[in-house]
Chain A
Amino acid sequence: MDEMIQHILEILENDARTSPEEIAALTGMSAQDVSQAIAKLEETGVIRHYKTIVDWDLVGENYVYAVIELKVTLERNQGYQVIAERIYKFPEVRSVRLLSGDYDISLTVRGKSMKDVAFFVAEKIATLDQVQSTSTRFVLKTYKEDGVILHEPESIQRLPVSF
């Protein structure tokens, strides 16, 4: 990978709002080159999406999250793609992953209440033909989300002056 592309991706992965001008100052490129490089990265799908990690608890929106593991049966001539697509189209589903091991597919579901989530799983997921069994686990607390620690303890103070 080009060194400058790596710089741009690391900067944006850490803070998607960094402006091309600031990226230029951080890398020694021109702002125009940065903008062009980003446009290309977006175009080719390297940069998929820009989003915000929100702590909804702090605004009183107490979402309930659950991790649900599925065992599925595959139909002839169809891989996991078909079942994955059926599942990921529900907006309640935040992530879908194919796993190795005891279960086949793991999803994260978000709802307004435990009842909400439980009914969604019972009605929409468990009833799918390919789904053999489901196992639902509710999330009690999220400590780290997508590389971001949500409730970081106080940082260590360094000496303001040292050699």
Chain B
Amino acid sequence: MKALLIRDLMLAIRAGGGFGLGLAFFLIVTVLVPFGVGPQTELLSRIAPGILWIGALLACLLSLDRILALDWEDGSLDLLATAPLPMEGIVSIKALAHWITTGLPLVLAAPVLGVLLSLPVPAYQWVVISLAVGTPALSVIGTFGAALTVGLKRGGLLMSLLVLPLYVPTLIFGAEVARRGAEGLTVQTPLLLLAGISFGVIALLPFASAAVLRINLR
């Protein structure tokens, strides 16, 4: 299991794309928003928490098809399926690798991009905390979507259609934490609910992903 994680991380670093691409996409989305809505600081600072969450979510989505598709194409997935690793473990590790290469950099980059959007000062910590708690759920749910569409030739668009509705609760609670933080309200309830979703999907969804992957492999 550890070997698989190390291999995936190594591949992400060497093949470029892994760390850089999602971050660059996040940056571009954040830069484009003021072009779209105008440069007024008050407006930007009000929508900043939401924009950061949407940007992170889209950046996450962009890299989902790499989670399993590459291993599918070169036959590694077949070989992994016959290896002494449980399929649930494989998909969990894949999701973890995706989070480390995509989610974690987004969490770290969010405050920097917050400056561009004049994010209110009290909101910084809550944006970072909500992303740190919420992005693992995005990776795990995304892995489920990737497993569903792994055998399909043009699965990317379909995967977005499948995954985005599943992202709704995470997005709502995550953005709510950030928004309330920005307004100086108490964040406890949405934060607990967000954490609940994250832990819930981490605990349960790998079983569904593994089942789906087994079906796709046969």
A and B are interacting partners = no
* Interface residues in chain B, defined as those with a beta carbon under 8 Å from any beta carbon in chain A: none
